[in-house]
Amino acid sequence: MNFGRKGRERFLEAVAGFETAIRERDGQRSQHAMQEMQQSYGDATDREFAQAGPRLAALLPDVPPGPRGLVAVLTGACVERGADATACAPYIVGGLAEALTAAGEFCERWAATGGGDLPDPDSDFMDDALVERVGSAAALGWATLPQWEMASVAMLSHGAVRVRLGDRRAELLAALRPVQEASEHDFKCLHYALLVLDDEPLVVLHRPTGTGYALRMSGLGDNFQLHTLLAGALVGGGHVPGHAPSAQEVAVCRDAPGQVPTTGSFNLVTPGGDWVWNEGTPSDIPVVDGVRLLVLDPPPYQRGWPAGRFFPRMTGDLVLERVLDEAETRGWLEHCAPAK
C-alpha cells in the first residue's frame, strides 16, 4: 500500500490531528488530517507505524461510516509496516462484520427491487437513486467491503490474529457466503484468509509406495503452496520418488519473498478419489477420524506454476513429524477408495 510521500516527521502529527478532529467531531479538520496522513505515510519510520496502527484502529468506532473503511486500510498498512496486528485486529474485525452484514442487506434489497447486475464495489456508484433503492447503510457496506477486505487480510496474515479469532472466523465466512453468491465479486482474498489453518495435523498417504506420513501445517494460503511444500518434505527428504523442488522453491512457500517456477510432483486426491485442486485451499482436504487425510497419486500430466505464497505477508509452514509404520498406513488406506 502506498499513500504518497512527503515529510516523515509529519505522520504522527497528522495522526494526532486526526484523533483530535474525530473526538471533537470536526469534519473539516478530520478530512485535512486524513490527507496529511496519506501524504506523509510513505516517509514514516517503523516507530511511527508501530505507534500509529493501534491508535488509528481504536478510533474506528468513532470515525463516520464514509471514511471509516479508508482508515481501516491505513491501519492495515501500518500493520504491514510493523504495527501490532493483535492490537489492531479486534477493531478491524468488528468493522468487517458490520460491513458484511450491510453488504448482505444490499444484495437482498438489490434483488428485491428489480435485481440486475450488481454495481462494482470498487467503482464510484453511490447516487441518490441507489440510496433510495437500497438504503444508505446497505449501499455504503457494499461500497466499502473491498476496503475492509484489504484491512482484514493484513490482520489475518498474522498467525496470532487467526488463532485468537477462533470460531469467529466461521461466523465471518457465513456472513460472506451470501454476498459471494449474489455477486460476481468473489472477495477471494478475504475468503481464503478466513480459511487458513494453523497447527493443523495432516496425514498424507503416498499410494504408489504404500507409505504414510504425519505432518502439521500452518499459514498455507492455497494448495499450490501446500503441493510444493509436500514435495519438498517427501521427495526432497528422500521418502518418495519424484521431482524435488529446489531450496528456493521451498523457501518462497515459507517466508522468502518472490516467486520461482516449479513443477508438480503429485496428484492430490481425497480419500474418496476426488481431486483436491491446487487452486483450492488446505481446508478442502476432508477430515477422517479427526485428522485431514490426503492421498498422493502420480500426476496425470505435467503441471507447472509459480511457487510462492497466495498471501505474500503470511508465513507458511509444513513440518514432517514422523513416518507412519506399515500398520498405521494400512489402517489409513482402508479409508480410501481405489485409485481412479
What's the pLDDT tens digit per position in 311-338? 999 999 999 999 999 999 999 999 999 8
Distance CA 294, CA 278 (A): 13
Q: How many domains does the chain have?
A: 2
**What is the β-pairing status of strands 291-297 and 200-206?**
parallel
In the predicted structure, residue 108 carries a pLDDT above the cut 50:
yes
Is there a single domain that holds both residue 182 and residue 311?
no
Q: Are 252 and 232 in contact (CB under 8 A)?
A: no
Other CB atoms within a 10 A radius of the CB of residue 253 amount to 29
Co-location of 185 and 210 in the same domain: no
Instruction: Give whole-number Cα distances, 140 to 50, 67, 93, 127, in Å.
Output: 29, 10, 17, 11
Q: Domain limits at 65?
A: 45-195
146 with 248, same domain: the answer is no
| Final residue in a domain of this structure, among 140, 165, 195 | 195
Q: Does residue 103 carry a pLDDT above 70?
A: yes
54 shares its domain with 186: yes
Q: Are residues 155 and 232 in the same domain?
A: no
Q: How many CA atoms lie within 13 A of 96 on its CB side?
A: 33
Distance of alpha carbon 42 from alpha carbon 6, whole angstroms: 7
Q: pLDDT tens, 119-148? A: 888 767 777 888 888 899 999 999 999 999
Coil, helix or strand at residue 212: strand
190 shares its domain with 210? no
Residues 163 and 250 in one domain: no
Last residue of a domain, one of 195, 229, 264: 195
pLDDT of residue 115: 83
The verdict on 169 and 228 lying in the same domain is no
Q: What is the pLDDT of residue 132?
A: 85
Note whether 188 and 213 are same-domain residues.
no
Tell whether 171 and 292 lie within a shared domain.
no
pTM: 0.93
Evaluate whether residue 3 is within a structural domain. Answer: no
Strand 291-297, strand 287-288: pairing = antiparallel
Last residue of a domain, one of 152, 177, 195: 195
Instruction: Verify that 281 and 254 share a domain, yes or no.
Output: yes
Q: 157 lies in a domain? A: yes
| DSSP annotation of 239 | S
One domain, residues 186 and 242: no
